[in-house]
Chain A
């Protein structure tokens, strides 16, 4: 009697993509209203309700337990770390934390959902309200959040592997997610782009999610509608899915706004739809029209005990929260005197900011530390395709490099192009030791320098004569020649002084 009926969805009709070219003055009559729903996979070791690994890329159906597969008689148990992580991102987004939490079942059938229901937080999202501060060309703005709730992920369906069947891999089923939902408060694709960029930085900064959009650890759906400026009622919305990069979030919303204005301008009506983004041509296409209202029959999950979050627990999570990137940027500018640009570059990633903070414990030259990290260190990492975590140059070695250049013992170019790569190869060496060993220390001993200076002056009588007649610009040439004669070891400051003294006497 029991039959499984799978309705075909995701049908993509053959269609011609039309780009709607909307004139700017027409565009200005309208206002877009955008809300984003972001699913972030929590960086736990195990799933939300059982001990299966959540590691990405495992062989299909090897991270599955009877609980994941929804076998009868199994009893799920909530992962404490997942609750802690949900609170962590909630605090980072200034949310109010719900004290009394329980999970609910959201009932529907789909092959990637092994139990026939998804365990989610329907009535009591763990975080309520809150905001994420973004910066656009128009200035700074707080994007209001509606809620952050915990839920379990579904499995993966593979449609093109078998002629007759859809293949299902349940490794991902039951993985802990938080869904972060904004209010419909954004008005441009750029705001949405800045929001997802900042949110990604926050989940990575707090360590609750690796933020990898390509692997699906961070997934974004956009709800978009348009209305005439001044109108307060929301227009018919379209939900765009499959936005697996920050760029795609922006491109999809740009396309969708133009598409909607194009329809309304010729007297058409917007259909409530779910659409998908096609990254090959930056367009969206309909995957389904609004079906009959879904009836999910939510009810409290009887297999999972409710949980109470105490003030003490929230306080302990808050105490462990690192200084957040925007606050840290402020601190770098106000306390260390860095420029906004330098501070922003250092705060792109927590690992970079941490490294900088480790270096400035060992040097007072904050500006030099910032320049080194934002300059040669990043160039080296980019060229070698390494992350900062993989960098073997210790903060102590970098502080020594800064001291060597500050003391005039090595010039910056030798320090960054010769010493740094060698120190990276051998983390037991000190910068001074290596410079000495390789004979790279600048010579500021007057006797030795005077010999090189005399040699150069003797070698170029014509130029010396020109200089004496007033062609003072030649000084640079002499300094360069002395550096050459010294194989780069002559301290240019002392050389310049010596040359001036000799040539002007």
Chain B
């Protein structure tokens, strides 16, 4: 599989990242070598082997329905880039309706 600029741009968009032209060239090379590595692994015949979805063999790890463990609001908001004393704040998601 060939890594091209369109693929880099799409992945960058999905990850909400922006790259300069120089950075993209470097990424293209890195990503290409990763893909070559995985394609090498793909040569192995895994017929009849179930995909490994979880690293642990644990199943049925449940908790009971109990209220506990909430943070205080102050703790919750302390790492937010923008907040007031009640809300996390993010750039406007909805454009204002023209009045």
| Chain B nearest Cβ from A7, distance in angstroms | 9
Chain A residues whose CB sits within 8 angstroms of the CB of B17 once the complex forms: 1-3
Chain A residues whose CB sits within 8 angstroms of the CB of B71 once the complex forms: 64-66, 69
| Bound complex: CA A50 to CA B69 (Å) | 8
B94 touches A168 (CB 8 A): no
User: A66-B71, A306-B59 known; A8 and B94 CB under 8 Å?
Assistant: yes
Question: Across the two chains, which residue of chain A brings its CB closest to B69?
Answer: A51
Chain B residues whose CB sits within 8 angstroms of the CB of A46 once the complex forms: 65-68
Central interface residue in A3, A8, A107, by most chain B CB within 10 Å = A8
| Chain A nearest Cβ from B37, distance in angstroms | 19
Chain B residues whose CB sits within 8 angstroms of the CB of A77 once the complex forms: 61-63
B48 at the interface (CB under 8 A from A): no
| Bound complex: CA A77 to CA B14 (Å) | 28
Chain A 145-160 against B: per-residue CB contact (8 Å), 1 yes, 0 no? 0000000000001110
Chain A residues whose CB sits within 8 angstroms of the CB of B10 once the complex forms: 295
A308 touches B60 (CB 8 A): yes
| Bound complex: CA A5 to CA B62 (Å) | 36
B8 at the interface (CB under 8 A from A): no
B63 touches A51 (CB 8 A): yes
User: A45-B66, A50-B69, A295-B14 known; A4 and B90 CB under 8 Å?
Assistant: yes
B19 touches A8 (CB 8 A): no
A82 at the interface (CB under 8 A from B): yes
Question: Across the two chains, which residue of chain B brings its CB closest to A52?
Answer: B70
A60 at the interface (CB under 8 A from B): yes
| Bound complex: CA A51 to CA B70 (Å) | 7
User: A65-B71, A109-B16, A169-B87 known; A9 and B66 CB under 8 Å?
Assistant: no
The SS class assigned to the A binding surface is loop
Chain A residues whose CB sits within 8 angstroms of the CB of B26 once the complex forms: none
B92 touches A53 (CB 8 A): no
Spot the interface stretch: A297-305, A376-384, A414-422: A297-305
Question: Across the two chains, which residue of chain B brings its CB closest to A299?
Answer: B53
Chain A residues whose CB sits within 8 angstroms of the CB of B95 once the complex forms: 8, 11
A56 at the interface (CB under 8 A from B): no
| Bound complex: CA A310 to CA B76 (Å) | 38
| Chain A nearest Cβ from B5, distance in angstroms | 17
User: A79-B63, A165-B82 known; A59 and B73 CB under 8 Å?
Assistant: yes
Chain A residues whose CB sits within 8 angstroms of the CB of B82 once the complex forms: 165
Question: Across the two chains, which residue of chain A brings its CB closest to B77?
Answer: A61
B47 at the interface (CB under 8 A from A): no
B67 touches A53 (CB 8 A): yes
A348 at the interface (CB under 8 A from B): no
For residues 59 through 75 of chain A, which have their beta carbon under 8 Å from a beta carbon of chain B? 59-67, 69
A164 at the interface (CB under 8 A from B): yes
B56 touches A61 (CB 8 A): no
Chain A 342-373 against B: per-residue CB contact (8 Å), 1 yes, 0 no? 00000000000000000000000000000000
The 4 tightest CB contacts between A and B, nearest first, are A81-B65, A167-B87, A165-B89, A80-B62
